Structure 1
Amino acid sequence: MVLYLLDYGAGNVQSLANTLKKLGHEFEWISSPADFHKATSLIFPGVGAFGSAIDGLISRGLYEPLREYIASGKPYFGICIGMQVLFRSSLESSSSKGLGIIPSDIGLFSNADKSVPHMGWNSVEFLDPEEKAHEGLRPDASYYFVHSFRAAYEWDRPEVAQWAHSTTQYGREIFLATVRKGNVFACQFHPEKSGQAGLRVLDAWLRESESERASSPPSPRVARLPKPNDGFTKRVIACMDVRSNDDGDLVVTKGDQYDVRERTTANGVQAEAAGAVRNLGKPVALAARIDRDGTGLGYDLELISLVRRSVRIPVVASSGAGRKEHFVEVFEKTGVEAALAAGIFHRREVSIQEVKEALAAAKINVRTA
């Protein structure tokens, strides 16, 4: 196998490269149209916007060579935008023409009943539960999504439905989580950001023989209606409040005071404030009442509910958590996507795992592993 990765110039593809190295797979980068002829397998780790991806392919002379590569029957794995470019067009950039491999168009999530973007962990459901070749996917696992635009599952259009491999429900909308037909496999989620579940997907595809990867049969057409609840998981966030002390050290202000640039965990991993929280570049609202912070009285449900009703982006509840039951309460009564706490975790009054177990016991979707 001669594996190549396609970077159209968006950057931020190093995480996938690092993941492949971790799994023990060697690869090269597509740097010119001629490289497509050398590749026997190709991964398109798409990040960014639909229009930027298409423009990047065209400006580098890679658009037609990519179409020809896919048409040749050699294995192709698209991720996120690498899946969406397979379609004819996207509302994200109506003037940009997709590859047109899949005869349908990418639409925008409705924010009538949920926050947009769809950002977080969700489950997948196969079209054929008896099928054995699931490309490492598991229906009991969760995968990391971050997108505002999606490919709807059009089961009543045979020419589109035959591409559907698995679906995901967000709110009342059912969209394509993975597509698979012939030599093409692609996923809307980011396997490189999905922990062990995502590593299984990448590794399973790469460990198949290239002949197996190039001959996937179409999936059956299955009518699928929205379920009462989707598989979107709630998130528990451990917050680190930091200030400078008289010696110029950055110290945590709750629990034991320690220099966050020197503190190490039990397994020797350095706790760095700068890397503790990563902004993925998507809008998120923080609902916090500062005078409730540290009281342990529970979240301000009235304020948080007001924020949740006022915006159509993911909301993080903050300030006031004192017991694991407070997390259950804020998710059940406000509908926020995430809840944040600091002191109770730093003081080890309750662990994140205990909070997750309480949420699971209350039938609230959460990743417990």
Structure 2
Amino acid sequence: MISLLDYGAGNVRSLRNAIHALGFSVTEIERPEDILKAERLIFPGVGAFGAAMERLHRLGYVEPLREYLAAGRPYLGICIGLQTLFEGSEESPGVAGLGLIPGQVRRFDDSELAVPHMGWNDVRVERDSPLFADYAGEKLYFVHSYRAEQTAENADWVLASTDYGCPFISAVQRGQVGAVQFHPEKSGAAGLRLLRRFLAGDAVSATPARRGAAAAPTHLARRIIACLDVRANDAGDLVVTKGDQYDVRESGAVRNLGKPVELAARYYEEGADEVTFLNITGFRDFPLADQPMLEVLERASERVFVPLTIGGGIRAFTDGEGTHYSALDVADRYFRAGADKVSIGSEAVHIVEQVLARGGEGDGSSAIEQIAEVYGNQAVVVSIDPRRIYVERPEDTRHHTVETAEPGPDGERYCWFQCTVKGGREGRDIDAVELARVCERLGAGEILLNSIDRDGTGAGFDLELVGAVRSAVRIPVIASSGAGCVEHFAEVFERTGVEAALAAGVFHRREVPIEAVKGYLRERAIETRLR
């Protein structure tokens, strides 16, 4: 009997779907006594260390879980399921972990690295184990801000390690108890093979650590993300569309570029590293009433085993019956439907305006803070829609300016990037750099950086905009808007250092295949994940 310990945070639907896709069934841990009845136990999760341990204590799971682990019974921890095996974490000082493995979980040094460590990296297998018997060196998907350190006291637990600034533990195993920092259910075919090994009962032991083995470095890949703008057409069906400067109609009807689930599955097969759904209509009044979009996530997560992001309507609201829902309530539904991350757009602008009015510090009430507190920073993406505002001199505005190689209509040599709301239709008195910095302080884990000026043009990413924001924050940045050829992807990686690049229309119309993008990047010696 395979049992899933869902402690109540993060997307576990994808893991259930992966288990079912591999031909296995799974039962849910509903009571403390169910833990000791399990024949194989899986503990997945994302979010804060302290919140996870608090939830385990509240559910009465800690003592039976410790008893199960002490008996050496089959266990697979994923992400938080690995970190809670240690004694504690810098993320939650004073909160004790399960204490099975000696050592502490510490934050990555973000002085030179983007944190969270987010994306596809290799693992360096340091001992022979059936768990990695089918592993052929493929990249696996990581998303975390804290990492377990290898010490002399826990060296006999270490199964694999990964480099990100410094080496960290990416897999542990002793007997039948194992855990991984990456997400096998989000790691494509390679992750599914590893998961199958555990489900089939093959991962029963590991040999002693290899002595004198070459420690080949691992490398984080640049991500290529496919974006699907989803809305209802005139017949009420959800379709993927793409507009010219936000106009999605063609000959009077909504431009239809395909069905969202089928298109997402196609991109997964073609090697997309992530898939993003942006709901550009729907649920503007009552987000949780938009059942078709929830169904899109549920069905997509059955076929797409890479990360899924959903944007549109992630905010607090009151429904027609007077019931109030927080942004956290809304996000929870989307995580439960299959999303790994939520994207906050116009709402983030309003949040930052309120924060700046209070002096620049959060008070815990914003959607960004609430969601990050429970699900972790990596679950919150802030989507910024800026446009260029030209000025003759930097002194002419209080905003962050750049000296531009693209002068304004009257020859202006400087510009700032004004944030917009309502799909780019309304500008606000805040710039993209300021917004990104404040959102990072509030707990956002990633920036999706669009460009009103470049969207749909095929003229390439706005490198000046991307460079300004990338240099201003220490969290990962996704460049978006303007891609028209493979060279544009290499250009934005080489000249700005962003972690990911996103495109929509050129992928939908097959003008620029994902495989062609990755092939060109490899020719330019830019690290990518092979399909």
- Normalising by structure 2, we get a TM-score of 0.61
Residue 143 of structure 2: aligned partner: 146
Q: For residues 115 and 447 of structure 2, what CA distance do their matches in structure 1 show?
A: 12
How far 1:261 sits from its partner (Å)?
7.4
Q: Which residue of the partner structure matches residue 119 of structure 2?
A: 120
Match of 2:222 among 211, 214, 234: 234
Q: 1:218 to 1:97 in 2, by over 3 A?
A: farther
- Whether the 8 Å contact between 1:162 and 1:221 is mirrored in structure 2 is no
Change (3 A) 1:23 1:225: closer
The CA deviation at 1:324 is 0.6
2:309 is matched with which residue? 278
3-state SS in 2 of match to 1:357: helix
State the partner residue of 1:219: 209
Give the 5 Å matches for 1:126-205: 126-128=125-127, 131=128, 133-136=130-133, 138-154=135-151, 157=152, 159-170=153-164, 172-205=165-198
Match of 1:308 in 2: 470
- What SS does the aligned partner of 1:98 have? coil
The AA in structure 2 aligned to 1:135 is: F
Distance 1:11 1:328, change over 3 A: closer
Q: Which amino acid aligns with 1:35?
A: D
Q: Secondary structure at the match of 1:111?
A: coil
Give the Cα–Cα distance (whole angstroms) in 2 for the partners of residues 235 and 86 of structure 1: 30
Q: CA deviation at 1:3?
A: 2.2
Report the equivalent of 1:297: 459
1:75-111 C-alpha deviation (Å, 9 max, x unpaired): 1111111111100001111121001111000000111
**Structure 1 gap ranges (5+):** none
Identify the residue that residue 263 of structure 1 maps to in structure 2. 258
How big is the shift at 1:237? 2.4
Letter in 2 for 1:149: Y
The answer to whether the 8 A contact 1:79-1:188 is kept is yes
Give unmatched runs, 5+ long, in structure 2.
267-276, 280-295, 298-307, 311-340, 342-378, 381-444
> Relative to structure 2, which stretch is displaced further, 287-296 or 257-266?
257-266
Q: What's the counterpart of residue 399 of structure 2? A: none
**AA partner of residue 17 (structure 1):** R
Aligned Cα RMSD in Å? 3.1
Rounded to whole Å, the distance in 2 between the matches of 1:61 and 1:266 is: 38
Residue 32 of structure 1 aligns with an amino acid whose one-letter code is R
Q: Does 1:339 align with 2:501?
A: yes
CA shift, 1:236, in A, is 1.8
Asked if 2 retains the 8 angstrom alpha-carbon contact of 1:153 and 1:161, the reply is yes
Secondary structure of 1:106's match?
strand
Alpha-carbon shift at residue 164 of structure 1 (Å): 0.9
- Shift of residue 354, structure 1, vs aligned partner: 1.0
How far apart are the structure 1 equivalents of 2:49 and 2:4?
Answer: 18
Change (3 A) 1:76 1:134: closer
Q: CA deviation at 1:42?
A: 1.2
Whole-Å separation in 2 of the counterparts to 1:216 and 1:349: 47
* Residue in structure 1 matching 2:490, options 328, 336, 348: 328
Report whether the alignment pairs 1:6 with 2:5: yes
Alignment CA distance shift 1:73-1:126 (3 Å): same
Paired position in structure 2 for 1:22: 21
Distance 2:468 2:228 in 1: 25
What displacement does 1:40 show? 2.3
CA offsets per residue over residues 293-321 of structure 1, 9 Å max, x none?
33333223232222111101111112332
Q: Distance in 2 between matches of 1:10 and 1:218?
A: 35
Residue identity (%): 47
More divergent stretch after superposition (240-249 vs 329-338): 240-249
Which residue of structure 1 aligns with residue 242 of structure 2? 252
Deviations 1:34-64 (A, max 9, x none): 2233222211122322112211111121111
Change (3 A) 1:307 1:208: same
- The 2-side partners of 1:119 and 1:4 are apart by 28
Q: Does the C-alpha gap of structure 1 residues 366 and 270 become closer, same or farther in structure 2, counting only changes over 3 Å?
A: closer
Report the counterpart of residue 72 of structure 1 in structure 2. Answer: 71
Q: How many residues align structurally?
A: 357
Checking the alignment, whether the CA contact within 8 Å between 1:173 and 1:226 is kept in structure 2 is no
1:198-230 per-residue CA deviation (whole Å, 9 max, x = no partner) reads 111110122235xx62x4344346698794xx4
Q: Residue 248 of structure 1: CA displacement?
A: 8.6
Residues 241 and 253 of structure 1 are in contact (CA less than 8 Å); yes or no, is this contact kept in structure 2?
A: no
Distance 1:269 1:169, change over 3 A: closer
Please name the residue that 2:523 is paired with: 361
Code of the aligned partner of 2:517: V
Given that 1:164 and 1:179 are in contact with CA atoms closer than 8 Å, whether structure 2 keeps it comes out as yes
The answer as to whether partners of 1:46 and 1:79 remain within 8 angstroms in 2 is yes
What amino acid sits opposite 1:201 in the alignment? L
Distance 2:92 2:19 in 1: 31
Indicate if the aligned counterparts of 1:13 and 1:47 stay in contact, CA closer than 8 A: no
Q: Distance in 1 between matches of 2:488 and 2:262?
A: 29
On the 8 A contact 1:234/1:337 being kept in 2, the answer is yes
Going from structure 1 to structure 2, the CA distance change for 1:11 and 1:318 (only over 3 Å counts) comes to: closer
Which one-letter code corresponds to 2:135 in the other structure? R
3-state DSSP of counterpart to 2:77: strand
Separation (CA, whole Å) in 1 of partners of 2:15 and 2:473: 33
8 A Cα contact 1:256 1:346, kept in partner: no
Counterpart residue number, 1:104 = 103
Moved more, 254-263 or 68-77: 254-263
**What is the TM-score normalised by the length of structure 1?**
0.85
Separation of aligned partners in 2, 1:127 and 1:161 = 10
Query: In structure 1, what is the equivalent of residue 45 of structure 2?
Result: 46
